[in-house]
């Protein structure tokens, strides 16, 4: 019994010596308590840095959203992205309605926001922290809700690596929010205004005012075409007031400007209809046919990622009296292409920008290009008998004042002349009175209200 107890004691002592040796070896060769504490603190520090990087990414995403939305609203729903050159404003009217869809806007915003947020993330990188690019952004916009003031965007594909004080890495998908933006209210009001306004008719009503602007094709402005610009300013001012009033908010105002204007005349056409006819002019010079309205090359992220005026005819100083008399003119087409910018500003809501907080505004452009046949006089000729003995204009123009008149005996070589400059007053003929003296027959008085007793009217040999 004593031998067994002694053996057991020896066995326990040997085991204890082995455990003590193992512990000694671990203590001597493994990290010390102090080192373990330091490593634990480093890991915690890296975890904090990781969380900070994720929070900073969310803030960067929000700032990128505000910047992209501001640019988008300034350009009519359009952003440049990737290697695109600087963009013009999206044209919401190109001789027809051309309003971008909410899906197009989603594409432009998503692509532009991706570029901006990645530039921000690059600036956050250091030797100890690396944040890779966001691969896709999606605003998840499907429709336009005028009451919606908030944008939500999801950011996918980024990763974060913290190298010091301890190595930590994580995915960096996140969501950011931009608040207080009346984007869709302005979009909806502008869209309704565009679709309810007859811009082609407005331009056509003013084109006759352009007949005396410039004889050769070229740019037009208020200096060389004041009557036309006065007409357009008046009509566009009426329409822009309707747009502003549609918001029913005194803090929201809308303005317009005719930015560019080009005019040219068509060749006189003797066979044209006398009544002016307005139609689209689709081929002005190239600078005036660039109706900027691209489509974004965007396919989304993934299924999971979706978060007519009067025409003044100039005639000769007097009209001929004879068997065939009158004035003919060949109608001439006037063509006008204009670009109009429209901007609405909401002082109730501000948006942060690189230059500080500014009132939210939305801008677009309209391209209106019309031609009015018969708008202008293209040349005068005298009426004459055609081969069928009919008093008509050469070329059979429908725009004529040709009349066949009897010539009383004794007045064959007489013309009735007048100092009155109105051509409508010349339509009287010479007759012989009972004493054989020629006189102007005033029974042919016309609509302009010529005085039948005009003392300045007389008969005179040709």
H helix intervals, 85-182: 102-124
| Whole-Å CA distances, 168 to 36, 124, 163 | 17, 17, 7
pLDDT, tens digit (0-9, with 9 covering 90-100), for 47-82: 788 888 899 999 999 999 999 999 999 999 988 887
Tokens linked to 377: 């006089």
CB-facing half-sphere around the CA of 345: CA atoms within 13 A? 7
Separation between Cα atoms, residue 334 and residue 336, nearest integer Å: 7
Question: What mean pLDDT do residues 262-275 have?
Answer: 71
pLDDT, tens digit (0-9, with 9 covering 90-100), for 319-374: 223 456 676 767 778 899 999 999 999 999 999 988 899 999 999 999 999 988 87
> What does residue 276 show for φ and ψ, rounded to 5 degrees?
-60, 140
For the chain, what are the domain ranges? 27-78+100-179, 197-267+275-299+334-376, 407-462
User: What pLDDT does residue 300 have?
Assistant: 83
Measured in whole angstroms, the distance separating CA 91 from the mean position of its chain's CA atoms is 3
pTM of full prediction above 0.85: no
Residues in the chain: 462
CA angle 255/258/259 to nearest 5° reads: 110
Pair type for strands 91-94 and 356-382:
parallel
pLDDT, tens digit (0-9, with 9 covering 90-100), for 110-154: 999 999 999 999 999 888 889 999 999 999 998 999 999 999 999
Is the confidence at residue 422, as pLDDT, over 70? no
Separation between Cα atoms, residue 23 and residue 16, nearest integer Å: 10
Tokens linked to 84: 């695109």
Q: What value does the mean pLDDT of the chain take?
A: 77
- The pLDDT confidence band at residue 301, using thresholds 50, 70 and 90, is confident
User: What pLDDT does residue 2 have?
Assistant: 52
User: What pLDDT does residue 285 have?
Assistant: 72
Q: Whose CA is closest to 199, among 368, 402, 399?
A: 368
Tokens linked to 378: 């293209």
CA angle 282/283/286 to nearest 5° reads: 125
């Amino acid at each position: 019994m004593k031998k067994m107890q002694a053996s057991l004691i020896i066995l326990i002592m040997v085991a204890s010596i082995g455990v003590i040796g193992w512990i000694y070896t671990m203590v001597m060769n493994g990290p010390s308590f102090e080192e373990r504490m330091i490593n634990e603190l480093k890991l915690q520090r890296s975890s904090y840095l990781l969380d900070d990087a994720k929070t900073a990414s969310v803030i960067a995403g929000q700032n990128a959203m505000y910047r992209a939305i501001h640019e988008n609203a300034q350009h009519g729903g359009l952003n440049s992205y990737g290697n695109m050159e600087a963009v013009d404003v999206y044209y919401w009217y190109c001789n027809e309605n051309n309003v971008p869809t909410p899906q197009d806007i989603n594409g432009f915003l998503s692509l532009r926001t991706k570029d901006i947020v990645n530039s921000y993330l690059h600036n956050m990188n250091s030797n100890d922290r690396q944040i890779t690019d966001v691969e896709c952004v999606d605003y998840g916009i499907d429709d336009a809700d005028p009451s919606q003031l908030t944008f939500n965007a999801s950011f996918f594909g980024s990763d974060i690596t913290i190298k010091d004080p301890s190595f930590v890495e994580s995915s960096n998908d996140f969501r950011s929010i931009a608040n207080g933006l009346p984007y869709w209210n302005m979009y909806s009001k502008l869209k309704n205004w565009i679709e309810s306004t007859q811009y082609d008719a407005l331009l056509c009503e003013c084109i006759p005012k352009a007949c005396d602007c410039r004889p050769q094709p070229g740019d037009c402005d208020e200096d060389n075409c004041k009557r036309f610009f006065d007409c357009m300013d008046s009509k566009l001012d009426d329409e822009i007031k309707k747009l502003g009033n549609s918001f029913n908010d005194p803090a929201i105002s809308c303005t317009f400007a005719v930015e560019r204007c080009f005019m040219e005349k068509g060749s006189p056409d003797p066979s044209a209809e006398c009544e002016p006819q307005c139609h689209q002019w689709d081929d002005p010079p190239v600078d005036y046919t660039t109706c900027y309205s691209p489509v974004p090359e965007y396919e989304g992220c993934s299924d999971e990622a979706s978060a007519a005026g009067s025409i003044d005819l100039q005639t000769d100083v007097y009209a001929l009296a004879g068997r065939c008399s009158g004035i003919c003119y060949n109608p001439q087409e006037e063509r006008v292409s204009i670009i109009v910018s429209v901007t609405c500003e909401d002082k109730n809501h501000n948006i942060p920008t690189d230059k500080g907080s500014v009132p939210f505004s939305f801008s677009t452009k309209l391209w209106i290009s019309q031609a009015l046949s018969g708008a202008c006089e293209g040349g005068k000729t005298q009426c004459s008998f055609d081969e069928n003995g009919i008093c008509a204009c050469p070329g059979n123009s429908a725009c004529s004042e040709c009349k066949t008149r009897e010539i009383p005996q004794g007045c064959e070589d007489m013309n009735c002349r007048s100092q009155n400059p109105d051509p409508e007053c010349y339509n009287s003929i010479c007759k012989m009175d009972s004493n054989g003296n020629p006189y102007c027959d005033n029974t042919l008085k016309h609509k302009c209200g010529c005085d039948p007793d005009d003392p300045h009217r007389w008969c005179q040999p040709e």
